[in-house]
Structure 1
Amino acid sequence: MCSIAGMIDFQHRGGRDEACAAMQQSLWRRGPDQHGIYQAGHAALVHNRLCVIDPENGAQPMRAVYGGQEYTLVYNGELYNTAELQQELEQKGHTFSGHSDTEVLLKSYMEWGARCVERFNGIFAFAVYEEHTRRLFFARDRMGVKPFFYMMLNGAFVFASEIKGLLAVPGARAQIDRNAVYEIMLTGPGRTPGYGVFKGIEELPAAYRGYFDERGLHTERYWRLQARPHTDSLEETIRRVRFLVTDAIRRQLISDVPVGTFLSGGLDSSIISAVAAAEMQKKGRRLQTFSVDYKDNAQYFKSSKFQPNSDSDYIGLLRDALQCEHHLIILDPADLADALYEAVDARDLPGMADVDSSLLLFCKEVKKQVTVALSGECADELFGGYPWFRDPAVRAAEGFPWAQSTRYRARFLKDAYREHFDPGAYVMRRYRATLADTDTLPGDPPLEKRMREMMRLNTDWFMQTLLDRKDRMSMYSALEVRVPFCDYRLAEYLYSVPWDYKDYRHYEKGLLREAMKDWLPEEILWRKKSPYPKTHHPAYLRIVSERLRELLRSPNAPLLDLVDKSALEQLLDAQNPQPWYGQLMTTPQTIAYMLQINYWLEKYQITLI
């Protein structure tokens, strides 16, 4: 993976060298191995590279000539059908200097233009500058794994992999308006698709492409989940799912640097690790696996509806079954609290509190052993594994099922932000816009229609928050993390699979379990879903609570410009855990989230407008 940035300025206002250097420096953590800048006329493209495939021949910005015309590419991502594309392009007369997916992507664009993205199986955000048309083309992968942010600054189009790359440009301002406050407090850490929170900054949504030239900016969606009649029998569906899952994992193991897997002992990561271990064994190699735990968690763990048991026994069971080289990383509550702020630096926004900071610390340790890792995100969104898919009451309720807390959240807003404002309406507009864009079949029974809506809500919102988290926390340490369950072919297929197939044996992700039953020990195959592990140590709550109390004693804390002080005091005295976001963010994480907001306002020197 890498970082990309650039600008197109038809006014030639000057200062471009300084802007390019600033963007490159701000994003260097994503790509510490190679660096490059391309400038010509009114265009500049910036790249930092993490070498994964073909280090010698994949340097960027990459330039090539076709039909007498010159094209220049900056690209962040991986293509998993590189070999097939290269073979097709060679048949059309293209030649290649190496085996990098970068060269294949560039020549795919030269051959097929904007429609090249429809041929890609991969995760990507890229931009191609056409010198002959003075036009920039850009695109983002179907599922939104790789980021692409942009802004218009004094008539120039500026883009970058992360928000910090845009804010580094001289003249850019870190400003937020009332809408940003509502986003942070009412939907955060989720974000409205395409919304960059900072004034003037936008994110190219998943499955979008666009152009910028002298006529202006144009973007369009090139892919969406579409409902189709499902004609496969249950047995055919099981076979198809087995093929798609195993094929996605195998494709995503390609690398010229060491590869490992995250292993939690849950179904999804165990499937990935089992298939990866088998592929490694074919090559005479041993898979490296990685798991995270917390100091004294065995002592303080409390079983709950969402997390009925801890991971350690299941991790050991699969480790022994696969004969992998396993690494257990133990995190300390104090380190977890300290890393809350570094996690904001990585994300450029307040995030999932210690759910973010734990991943950031984990990835730092994993990077010491491997450069690429595979992780199990996105299976729950596609196969309906979350509790809210299965609870009829929650499933039927209007609103985002992981955040049925708008009234509770709104209590934290200062009076100035609550006057003449309806928090529920703000959230419901976003919820209903997603439903309105959900594709269904005319004859869909109510349950099938609702499950399609649930899948769209989860892939457009909840999954995007998790993908943001995984990308920023891992790339902060230049660790490339791939997500096989995010293969668009799997998403397309499962969108049309009826719920009674997905709910095989009336068990969460029953279809996936049945499809992959030959790969796992029974104890793991039918283990009840358990979310990403978090600390249960009371020291963590004590640390973040004391830090919030200290903040409340400061009259200049910027958090208090947005949030009601008495509501924060009530939060500190709360006896019952109140969910904020999903299964993992309750009272300790809400306290930590408030600390992250305050740090973000201070660190980025944000102006409220």
Structure 2
Amino acid sequence: MCGITGWLHYDRNGKDNVNQIETMMNTLQYRGPDDKRIYTDQHISFGHTRLIVIDPAGGQQPMQKEYDGNRYVLVYNGELYNTEHLRLQLKKCGHIFRSHSDTEVVLTAYIEWGSRCVEKMNGIFAFAVWAENDQTLYLARDRLGVKPLFYTETTEGFIFGSEIKALLAHKSVSPIVKEEGLLELFSLGPSRTPGCGIYEGIHEVKPAHTMKITRMGIKTTHYWNVKSQSHLDSLEDTTNQVKSLLYHASQRQLISDKPVSSFLSGGLDSSALTAIAAEECKEKLHTFSIDYEENDKYFKTNDFQPDTDKKYIDKMRDTFNTEHHYETITIDELIHMLQESVLARDLPGMADIDSSLLWFCRKIKQQAVVALSGECADEIFGGYPWFYKKELMEKKGFPWINSLQQRHSLLNEKWKNRLNIDEYAYMRYLNTIKDTPLSGNETKQEKSHKEMAYLNMNWFMQTLLERKDRMSMRASLEVRVPFADHELVQYVWNIPSEWKRLEGKEKGILRKALEGVLPSEVLYRKKNPYPKTHHPDYTNKMTEKLSEVIDKKDAPLYELIDPKQLKQLVQSKGASFPYPWYGQLMSGPQLLAYFWQVNYWLEAYNVKIS
């Protein structure tokens, strides 16, 4: 994976922008620590930082190619999983390749097929192509939004980058947050409306969208969406097809010039990928898990997390003979990483849910460059409670946000009067529901299920993909997500909801497909959320840490939050906020950590609230 950035100005020579594009590029150094290069020419400047996984010599960027009298230049972040198939097609069209990198295939695909090239690609990507003769800039993002791409338009031209920080490094872009940005944070956060960058004027290319920028303006195209149609396969055929698609997706994503490892929590999703990788890899598979110091002593069972991961991890390790690495994070390390996880996102995120993952990815990177991860399985197969609990299915709003009134009550009087949190969240919910792709033949139950699945694909899944990208790339670790394969997603979209909950189990059809692959203890294990610490030291230290913030009369947090509410939150050690902030996550001391992050973000980025 890589970091990309660029600047287009039709009234300026790009060769005069060397210092500016280098500054923007350098903010993304950790996304690509192995190499960095720039390209400047008339009107355009590109910057690229590279994490080398395939073809060290042949995949250098920005990549240039001349064809039919036109020069094309590419910056690309991602991984193409049908590289050889496309290369063969392009060779038949008369194209000659000088490397075996997927980068050259992406660029040549654009040369041959233009803006429709993305329809032929299977992969995770965000890229930009400059066509010199046409004076056209083309941007594209993968179907499920695994790889990020932000942009802004200013009086100084069109600016884009893999992360917001690259845009903020441009002299014409300021860290201003207005009412809409605050509504995003307090109504929806840590989710964001697709396309919204929180900061004023900063946007994100939506998943499955392309943009073409010319002197005449900008044209945006939505090139892919799930398609609803009748599911005609039998249960047996459906089970076999799910297994086949998952295997093929995983096999494609195991292609690398560097060894591939796997996250392993002992849950269904990571275990499925581990089993496939262990079977396919020639060398012994390295697997990794995270836990918290003294978790065996302080762990508390609940309905969502009845037990810890270790015995299931041990079973997977023994069954598939993996080289397993148990990583244990201390409380001090967990707290220390809160600051850097904000820098990774350029926004407040998910508190220690982020900081622990960032630490974990750093540990993995010490021994691996590429890792498989199980994100997206719950969203496409229906693994969350809101897919099957009647009261959550029928809720008119995002089922993972149950704290809107409480969120609103935390605001100071100025923003309490100006921000209509409930209405904003409800309208975002309605706008998504009405866009759900339906065939018109769905039963009431199937319509409701597809609406819930579409909500999850566009919101909850995007939040988790963003988290995984920012934390892993901050650690210079490439993470691949086979469950986000668009062919698998499309097929599963039309599977009847009762099969997705086959035999009364969440993700029932996936479990059925993995019979004979996984040990029964793992196959039928109840879904567990991402682990958190129950250590009292964490609660006490976060209480102290946020206390130090609110003791300062000029704390930036007071620009937004009511002092009395903050004091009550600290005195109760987070218990005064009765619901998790997001889904089943971010309650108690995690909420203290979140507000510490909000304060740090306002301070570190010198955010101007307007």
TM-score w.r.t. length of structure 1: 0.98
Tell me, in whole angstroms, the C-alpha distance in 2 between the residues paired with 1:189 and 1:295: 26
Structure 2 partner of 1:2 = 2
1:52 aligns with 2:53: yes
The residue type equivalent to 2:2 in the other structure is C
The one-letter amino acid paired with 1:136 is: L
Q: Distance in 2 between matches of 1:36 and 1:5?
A: 11
Letter in 2 for 1:77: G
Query: What is the match of residue 557 of structure 2?
Result: 559
Query: Which amino acid letter does the alignment assign opposite residue 158 of structure 1?
Result: I
CA distance in 1: counterparts of 2:13 and 2:226, whole angstroms: 42
Structure 2 match to 1:306: 304
Partner of 2:29 in structure 1? 28
Which residue does 1:159 correspond to in 2? 160
Deviation (angstroms), 1:570 = 2.3
Per the TM alignment, residue 213 of structure 1 is displaced from its structure 2 partner at its CA by: 1.4
Q: Are 2:196 and 1:198 aligned?
A: no
Specify the code of the residue in structure 2 equivalent to 1:6: G
Q: 1:474 offset after TM fit, Å? A: 0.4
In 2, Cα distance between equivalents of 1:554 and 1:13 = 48
The answer on whether the counterparts of 2:13 and 2:44 sit within 8 Å (CA) in structure 1 is: no
Q: Which amino acid aligns with 2:363?
A: E
Letter in 1 for 2:476: A
- Which range moves more in the overlay, 443-452 or 520-529? 443-452
CA distance in 1: counterparts of 2:156 and 2:449, whole angstroms: 44
Cα offset for 1:511? 0.3
Cα distance in 2, alignment partners of residues 66 and 137 from structure 1: 17
Distance 1:421 1:531 in 2: 31
Distance in 2 (alpha carbons) for counterparts of 1:7 and 1:255:
31
Q: Deviations over 1:480-534 (max 9, x none)?
A: 0000000011111111111011111111111000001121000000000011111
Bigger Cα displacement from structure 2, 182-191 vs 340-349:
182-191
**Hey, what's the Cα distance between the residues in 1 that align with 2:307 and 2:582?**
21
Once the two structures are superposed, what CA deviation does each residue of 1:106-128 show, in whole Å capped at 9, x if it has no partner?
10111100000001100000000
Contact 1:333 1:540 in 2 (8 A): yes
Q: Shift of residue 13 of structure 1?
A: 7.6
Partner-residue secondary structure (3-state), 1:238 = helix
Q: Is the 8 A contact 2:13 2:42 kept in 1?
A: no
What amino acid does structure 2 have at the position aligned with 1:508? E
Q: What is the distance in 2 between the residues matched to 1:585 and 1:386?
A: 17
Equivalent in the alignment of 1:530:
528
How much identity, in percent, do the aligned residues show?
Answer: 48
Structure 1 residue identity aligned to 2:591: T
Cα distance in 1 for partners of 2:467, 2:405 equals 26
2:392 pairs, out of 387, 394, 397, with: 394
Which residue of the partner structure matches residue 484 of structure 1?
482
Give the whole-Å Cα distance in 2 for the aligned partners of 1:420 and 1:350: 21
Query: What do the CA deviations read for 1:427-466 (whole angstroms, capped 9, x no partner)?
Result: 1010000001101122211111111011111110011110
Hey, what does 1:338 align to over in structure 2?
A: 336
Label 1:70 to 1:232 Cα distance change in 2 as closer, same or farther (>3 A). same
Matched with 2:362 is: 364
CA drift at 1:258: 2.1
Over residues 299-336 of structure 1, what are the superposed CA-to-partner deviations in whole Å (9 max), with x where a residue is unaligned? 11111111111101100111011111011110011110
Alpha-carbon distance in structure 2 between the residues aligned to 1:72 and 1:421 = 44
Question: For residues 186 and 514 of structure 2, what CA distance do their matches in structure 1 show?
Answer: 40
Alignment of 1:454 onto 2:452: yes
Task: Give the secondary-structure state (helix, strand or coil) at the position aligned to 1:11.
Answer: strand
State how far apart, in whole Å, the 1-side matches of 2:128 and 2:540 are.
47
CA distance in 2, matches of 1:124, 1:456: 21
Larger CA deviation: 474-483 vs 173-182? 173-182
- AA paired with 2:179? R
CA distance in 2, matches of 1:394, 1:588: 26
Amino acid at match of 1:169: H
Aligned to 1:502: 500
1:420 to partner: Cα distance? 5.0
User: 2: CA distance between counterparts of 1:78 and 1:169?
Assistant: 27
Bigger drift between 81-90 and 213-222 goes to 213-222
- SS at the partner of 1:42? strand
Q: Distance in 2 between matches of 1:461 and 1:371?
A: 28
Deviations 1:45-78 (A, max 9, x none): 1100100011110000001111121110000000
Per-residue Cα deviation, 1:227-282 (whole angstroms, up to 9, x for no partner)? 111111111111110001111111101100121000000000000000000011xx
Cα separation, 1, equivalents of 2:405 and 2:519: 44
Aligned AA for 2:439? L
Could you say what secondary structure the match of 1:339 adopts? helix
Q: Which amino acid aligns with 1:63?
A: Q
Distance across 1 between alignment mates of 2:100 and 2:11: 38
Relative distance call for 1:257 and 1:420 in structure 2 (3 A) is closer
Q: Secondary structure at the match of 1:429?
A: helix
Q: Is the 8 A contact 1:407 1:424 kept in 2?
A: yes
| Other structure's SS at 1:7 match | strand
Compute the RMSD of aligned alpha carbons: 1.1
Secondary structure at 2:10 match in 1:
coil
Instruction: Identify the range of structure 1 (13-22 vs 352-361) with the bigger mean alpha-carbon deviation.
Output: 13-22
Counterpart residue identity of residue 444, structure 2: P
Instruction: State the 1:347 CA deviation.
Output: 0.6
Question: 1:135 aligns to what?
Answer: 136
Aligned partner of 2:593 in structure 1 is: 592
* Aligned-partner Cα distance in 2 for 1:411–1:307: 29
1:536 match: secondary structure: coil
Q: Following the alignment from structure 2 to structure 1, what is the Cα–Cα distance between the partners of residues 202 and 13?
A: 20
Instruction: Please name the residue that 2:377 is paired with.
Output: 379
Instruction: Map 1:140-539 onto structure 2 (within 5 A).
Output: 140-280=141-281, 283=282, 285-539=283-537
Code of the residue aligned with 1:544 in structure 2: it is: M
Q: Identify the range of structure 1 (212-221 vs 137-146) with the bigger mean alpha-carbon deviation.
A: 212-221
* Structure 2 unaligned blocks of 5 or more: none
Match of 1:19 in 2: 20
Check whether the contact 1:11–1:155 (CA below 8 A) recurs between aligned residues.
no
**Which stretch of structure 1 is more off in the superposition, 141-150 or 305-314?**
305-314
Q: Tell me if structure 1 keeps the 8 A contact 2:402–2:579.
A: no
Moved more, 47-56 or 560-569: 560-569
Q: Do the aligned partners of 1:148 and 1:162 also contact (CA within 8 Å) in 2?
A: yes
**Structure 2 residue 65 is matched with structure 1 residue 67:** no
Question: Residue 22 of structure 1 aligns to which amino acid in structure 2?
Answer: T
Q: Which amino acid aligns with 2:258?
A: V
How far apart are 1:375 and its partner, in Å? 0.3
Q: Name the CA distance, whole Å, in 2 between partners of 1:208 and 1:197.
A: 19
| TM-aligned CA deviation for residue 588 of structure 1 | 1.7
Bigger shift: residues 343-352 or 494-503:
494-503
1:576-587 paired onto structure 2 within 5 Å? 578-587=579-588
User: Secondary structure of 2:86's match?
Assistant: helix
Counterpart amino acid of residue 546 in structure 2: L
Give the partner amino acid of 1:339.
M
- Cα deviation for residue 153 of structure 1 reads 2.0
SS of equivalent residue, structure 2 residue 356: helix
Q: Distance in 1 between matches of 2:181 and 2:589?
A: 24
SS at match of 1:6: strand
| Pairwise CA distance, 1:417 | 1.1
**2-structure distance, mates of 1:197, 1:158:** 16
Q: C-alpha displacement at 1:221, in angstroms? A: 0.8
Q: What is the match of residue 538 of structure 2?
A: 540
**Distance of 1:448 and 1:328 partners within structure 2:** 42
Check conservation: 1:248, 1:487, Cα contact below 8 A.
yes
> How many angstroms apart in 1 are the aligned matches of 2:260 and 2:304?
31
For the residues of structure 2 that align with 1:440 and 1:590, how far apart are their CA atoms?
38
Post-superposition shift, 1:578?
2.1
Q: Whole-Å Cα distance in 2 between the matches of residues 483 and 521 of structure 1?
A: 22
Q: Secondary structure at the match of 1:408?
A: helix
Q: Distance in 1 between matches of 2:244 and 2:506?
A: 20
Give secondary structure in 1 for the equivalent of 2:11: coil
Where 2:130 maps in the other structure, the secondary structure is strand
Q: How far 1:423 sits from its partner (Å)?
A: 1.8
